[in-house]
Amino acid sequence: TQLLEQSPQFLSIQEGENLTVYCNSSSVFSSLQWYRQEPGEGPVLLVTVVTGGEVKKLKRLTFQFGDARKDSSLHITAAQPGDTGLYLCAGVGRGQGAQKLVFGQGTRLTINP
Amino acid sequence: NAGVTQTPKFQVLKTGQSMTLQCAQDMNHEYMSWYRQDPGMGLRLIHYSVGAGITDQGEVPNGYNVSRSTTEDFPLRLLSAAPSQTSVYFCASSYSEGLSYEQYFGPGTRLTVT
């Protein structure tokens, strides 16, 4: 069974601070996705990283896929209250059944003004 | 386009009752999935479908049935509701593009079983 461990599960910081969320596994994934979920809504895709070592930037958010394609990180620079939400990583498997995503437990992020 | 729609948004059941959660998508996506979301456990896959007439079990399929008679619809049936099935249920559709399977989620159904 493939598992994804996210850390931390909860993070509360002040506006303007930087933070990093980690997503780790012992399994290799063909790609890894990051979603953001607002209360009362379904998750929305932020980014997909595909190549080992790949770095993608989305404004103040930086996503990295580990060289071995087993882990990923999300770094937010100068966090703002609008970044508050639940962040989920999801691993895409390999070969048949690749569409069965494996989700981490989520990181609930609160940015205080 | 409405994307992925789910009904109802809220539901309260008594133990032993049955019901169907509806899910529809208008994006002509081949893949559809049902997840449940519980505090501290992320999203867990219940059942999924790779096309009309084809379904398979996910991580937590017990107590749930699905069918996919059309590309658009993917209902989830609770056969005999139990308190352990109290959760938020999300339906998602997706298509494959290279190594990406972006999931488009519905707004969710919050189910309480008493």
Exposed, middle or buried: residue B15 (CB in 10 Å: 0-12, 13-18, 19+)? Answer: exposed
pLDDT of residue B52: 93
Question: What's the whole-number average pLDDT of chain B?
Answer: 93
Tell me the sheet residues that pair with B7: B22
Q: What is the mean pLDDT of residues B11-36?
A: 96
Q: Using CB atoms and an 8 Å cut-off, which of residues 37-96 of chain B contact chain A? A: 40-45, 48, 50, 58-59, 90, 92, 94, 96
* pLDDT reading at A88 higher than 70: yes
Question: What's the whole-number average pLDDT of chain A?
Answer: 92
Q: Which among A4, A31, A45 is the nearest to B103, CB-wise?
A: A45
Residue to substitute from A99, A102, A105, interface B, most B β-carbons within 10 A: A99
B9: its two tokens: 């948004």
For residue A92, the distance in angstroms to the closest alpha carbon of chain B comes to 7
Tell me the sheet residues that pair with A87: A36, A107
Chain B residues closer than 8 Å to A103 by CB? 35, 42-44
| pLDDT confidence band for A75 (50 / 70 / 90) | very high
* pLDDT reading at B17 higher than 90: yes
pLDDT of residue B95: 82
Chain A residues closer than 8 Å to B50 by CB? 99
Taking an 8 Å cut-off on Cβ atoms, the answer to whether A100 and B45 are in contact is yes
The rounded distance, in Å, linking the Cα atoms of B35 and A10 is 22
CA torsion A34-A48-A93-A21 (nearest 10°) is -30
> What are the tens digits of pLDDT across the range B40-59?
788 999 999 999 999 999 98
B29 interface with A at CB cutoff 8 Å: no
pLDDT of residue A98: 62
Taking an 8 Å cut-off on Cβ atoms, the answer to whether A105 and B106 are in contact is no
* pLDDT reading at A23 higher than 70: yes
* pLDDT reading at A18 higher than 80: yes
The rounded distance, in Å, linking the Cα atoms of A104 and B10 is 25
Q: Which is it for strands B64-66 and B76-78: parallel, antiparallel or unpaired?
A: antiparallel
Share above pLDDT 70 across residues of chain A, in percent, rounded to a whole number? 94
Q: What is the mean pLDDT of residues B22-35?
A: 95
pLDDT of residue A95: 66
Q: What is the mean pLDDT of residues A70-93?
A: 95
A85 interface with B at CB cutoff 8 Å: no
Nearest CA in chain A to B51: A99
A–B CB contacts, 8 A cutoff, strictly below? 70
Chain A residues closer than 8 Å to B106 by CB? 42
> What are the tens digits of pLDDT across the range A24-70?
999 898 889 999 999 889 999 999 998 999 999 999 999 999 999 99
Greater model confidence, B2 or A13: A13
Taking an 8 Å cut-off on Cβ atoms, the answer to whether A41 and B58 are in contact is no
B106 interface with A at CB cutoff 8 Å: yes
| pLDDT confidence band for B99 (50 / 70 / 90) | low
